[in-house]
Amino acid sequence: MKPTVQQLTDWDKHYVWHAFTQMACYDPLIIESAEGCELIDIEGRRLLDGVSSMWCNVHGHQHPQIDAAIQEQLGKVAHVTNLGCSNSTAIRLAKRLAELTPGDLDHSFFCSDGASALEVAIKLAFQYWHQCENPQPQKTTYIGFEDAYHGDTIGTISVGGVDRFNAVFKPLMFPVHRLPIPDRRVPDEAMACEHHLRILEETLAQHHETIAAVVIEPLVLGAAGMIVQPEGYLRGVRELTHKYNVLMIADEVAVGVGRTGMMFACNQEEVVPDILCLGKGLSGGYLPMSAAIASTAIWNAYLGKYSEAKQLCHGHTFGGNPLGCAAALATLEIFETEGTLQQLPAKIARIAEHLTRLQNHPHVGDVRQCGMIAAVELVKDRTTGEHFPWTERHGNQVCQYAQEHGVWIRPLGDVLVIMPPLAVSLPQIDQLCEVIADGIEHVTSSKASS
């Protein structure tokens, strides 16, 4: 017998442990199906997917080309290990990624999620310095950034910097050189790039002999609150890592695959990292799929006789899964057949129009945008920059209002994230942004009146 709505709700609250969720306060939203850019819950209510099902859906739900690719692959084989074995779909995807990524990023290590890809990259960089042409095994530390998020494994929380997530695990974490968030507003927009690059260079000049890699989210720090970096900063990071002989790991799990208006965020400043990590949108948001894509120099350091034991001793059961690879190949093909990137400028401009109208609201401290990634930061007083008490959860209240008005979004504290699928239409952008604006007014005016 099919479960009732009430049964599913009760079971969800009792049996399912949700990520980043206080289960004692959890109010279920249960999705039954989806079409295009809309989610449909178990009661038939349609919600515009305003955050791409956590930043990963690209071409919409139930896209016929991706559906067909997965179904065709199911008719061949659903899973093949990549431990000493391969499959034709994974091979084709690796070649396609080599063609698309900048420079000589030609070698893909497939994983199942973004954190796994970053974990691979961290280990690749560490081992590289032990067996490259000029070994420097003392290079064992990393540079990371405050409030950066790269995943929830021990390695990724170590290079990440979100204290509210990681504090309890600090005894398990390895030490990292932690730099301030490269925020375009600090100290001001004119001096921000120079200021933050100077901080980075001071650290590299003092510690480069022991630093294996800089780990950075290009252009935008996602979980930090969609903090946009100053223009030119990413290019400056690449130049400094070259200067001081340190590797650069680019975490494009959230910002890659078209999110910034180009296929990869690194393309925006013509940067070629040593390792590029992809996830989320790589499979169109359909299936768990990620990749750590390494340069030829990294690859070559792992080649040698069997007796030299230079191979990377790391693997994932479902790495290179044919179904995920088929979804990824179809996702990348749609960029060409539907001209996805060519359609983005008009959508990016429409979001910008809405942000311009919001930026003078008395309870909006900042609006920020990088391509199809945007955010609205709520404050108690825009003049002083004072924030609302975090326990009042104003961002969450706006999201609740949005849900009641046909839009699904999820906040980062009091930062409202706008990141719809790239396939979103202009009228849907209007709907998304207008509901958010109405929600801000509703929540903040009710607080003022109370």
Question: Which residues define the annotated binding site for pyridoxal 5'-phosphate?
Answer: 114-115, 251, 316-317
Token pair of 300, please? 């070559």
Q: 351: Cβ–Cβ under 8 A, 6 or more apart, which residues?
A: 369, 372, 374, 418, 429, 433
Four-point Cα dihedral 234, 237, 241, 244, nearest 10: 160
Known binding residues = 114-115, 149, 251, 280, 315-317, 410
Cβ-contact 335, 263 below 8 angstroms:
yes
Closest CA to 353 of 411, 430, 424, 408: 430
Cβ-contact 364, 382 below 8 angstroms:
yes
> CB 434: neighbour CB atoms within 10 A?
14
The runs of H, that is alpha helices, within 140-213 are 154-159, 163-166, 192-207
Cβ-contact 70, 323 below 8 angstroms:
yes
Could you give the CA distance from residue 101 to residue 83 in angstroms, rounded to a whole number?
Answer: 25
Instruction: Say how many CA atoms lie within 13 Å of 171 toward its Cβ.
Output: 1
Angle, CA 223 vertex, CA 23 and CA 284 arms, to 5°: 90
Crossing angle of helices 322-337 and 340-358, rounded to 10°: 80
Cβ-contact 213, 82 below 8 angstroms:
no
DSSP label of 187: S
Rg, Å, the chain Cα set: 22
Could you give the CA distance from residue 241 to residue 207 in angstroms, rounded to a whole number?
Answer: 12
Q: Which residue has the tokens 């819950």?
A: 41
Crossing angle of helices 340-358 and 426-449, rounded to 10°: 20
Could you give the CA distance from residue 308 to residue 301 in angstroms, rounded to a whole number?
Answer: 11
Closest CA to 375 of 412, 429, 427: 412
DSSP label of 176: -
What is the distance between the terminal CA atoms of the chain, rounded to a whole angstrom? Answer: 48
- CA 409, 411, 414, 416 dihedral sign is negative
Known binding residues for substrate = 149, 280, 315, 410
